[in-house]
Amino acid sequence: MSTSFAQLAATPGTVAPDPTKHVNYTLGMLLGVDDFNQEFAYLSGRDKWLARDAIGYGTLNGLRVSLDTTTRGPRISITSGSALSPRGQLIRMAPAQCAYLNDWLAANPSQTQGLIGTPSGSLLQLSLVLCYRRCPTDPVPIAGEPCRAASDLMANSRLTDDFALELRVTPPVQDEEDAVRDFVSWLDQVNVTDDPGTFPTIPEFEDLLRSGLIPGSPPNPGTFFQLGAPLTGIQIHPASLGEYVRAAFRIWVTEIRPVFHADWSSQNCGCGAASETANPLADECLLLADIAVPVINIGPGLNWTVDDSNPVTIDETRRPILLHARMQQEWLQSGLGSGK
């Protein structure tokens, strides 16, 4: 159990099965434990693959983050809800959770060492993240050998979906989320107008998009998209906007997203040579909020507590949010922004 959030620990598996393979059963073949685990890994892996490639990741429902003051000091509360992790795992958090910041500071002195600026007081930046976990449950008796301990004659027969809620001093990696936001902001520089002027052809538009990309190693969404020229000089007629948007989305899907999209599938599949570029890494956990905590040292040593004379602030601007399809449909049909 965590010092600030209640959570159940997961038992790591022995050898992870390959999610790209499934059992090819032939009459007379004997199926064992590895075969059943392999088949589950394949079916579960495809579900997660579909979620992360076709939907994305972010908060789906609930998980509201709020701050209140108690006799034990500032308390962060999170309502129950659900989310999709960057790995494509569906996370359900219930019941509601809370954490007392002073308790977390007292229990984690080593994590804050070197992050707080002055001996008297400073600002500590924390990230509130939600992760997927599995909890072994329902122990049942299993066949045993002579001279074995009683604990070796029982095994958990089920794995229950669970969650972990953490306060971290390092924010999770979410390059794809950052790239989505930057790509949309980048395209917003294009001028859509019916004023007289020169309008590029679709191939010219695609070449201009590509010329505005600034690749790096490792790729960084903040510097990948060149702001300003050449996109600020592009004019598109409203009647042809759909064709240009379709071209931009094609470049996003086929050329830009693969640079930032992490893939947890097996790297040993396929008939050709291995990819020359490794897939980008991403955190398996989901950012819920960035929390700035004013702290003060009450001594001696690393004895920090929340500074009540300054406010704790919650910033959710970097939090990935997934809007469900029904809301998108209604919003598109509503004529929002038309002045009606």
* More confident site: 203 or 228: 203
pLDDT band at 270 (very low <50, low <70, confident <90, very high): very low
Question: Which region holds residue 337: left if phi is over 0, alpha if psi is between -120 and 50, else beta?
Answer: left
Length of the chain (residues): 340
Contact 164, 3 (CB under 8 A): no
For residue 146, give the DSSP letter. Answer: T
Contact 70, 157 (CB under 8 A): no
39-60 as b/e: b if 16+ CB within 10 A: bebbeebeebbebbeeebbbbb
Span of 10-14, 160-164, 236-240 with lowest mean pLDDT? 10-14
* More confident site: 234 or 266: 234
Q: Is the pLDDT at 202 greater than 90, yes or no?
A: yes
Residue whose tokens read 């590895």: 34
The residues, ordered by sequence, that sit 6+ positions from 122 with a Cβ below 8 Å of its Cβ are 116, 294, 295
Q: Is the pLDDT at 337 greater than 70, yes or no?
A: no
238-277 as b/e: b if 16+ CB within 10 A: eeeeeebeeebeebbeeebbebbbbbbeeeeeeeeeeeee
Q: Is the pLDDT at 123 greater than 70, yes or no?
A: yes
The residues, ordered by sequence, that sit 6+ positions from 46 with a Cβ below 8 Å of its Cβ are 19
The pLDDT value given to residue 2: 40
Mean of per-residue pLDDT scores for the chain: 83
Burial class of residue 173 in the structure, from the number of CB atoms within 10 Å of its CB (0-12 exposed, 13-18 middle, 19+ buried): middle
The pLDDT value given to residue 197: 82
pLDDT band at 143 (very low <50, low <70, confident <90, very high): confident
The pLDDT value given to residue 111: 77
Nearest to 34 by CA among 45, 43, 46, 23: 23
Span of 16-25, 114-123, 152-161 with lowest mean pLDDT? 114-123
pTM of the model: 0.82
What order do you get walking across the sheet with 65-70 strand by strand? 65-70, 73-78, 97-100
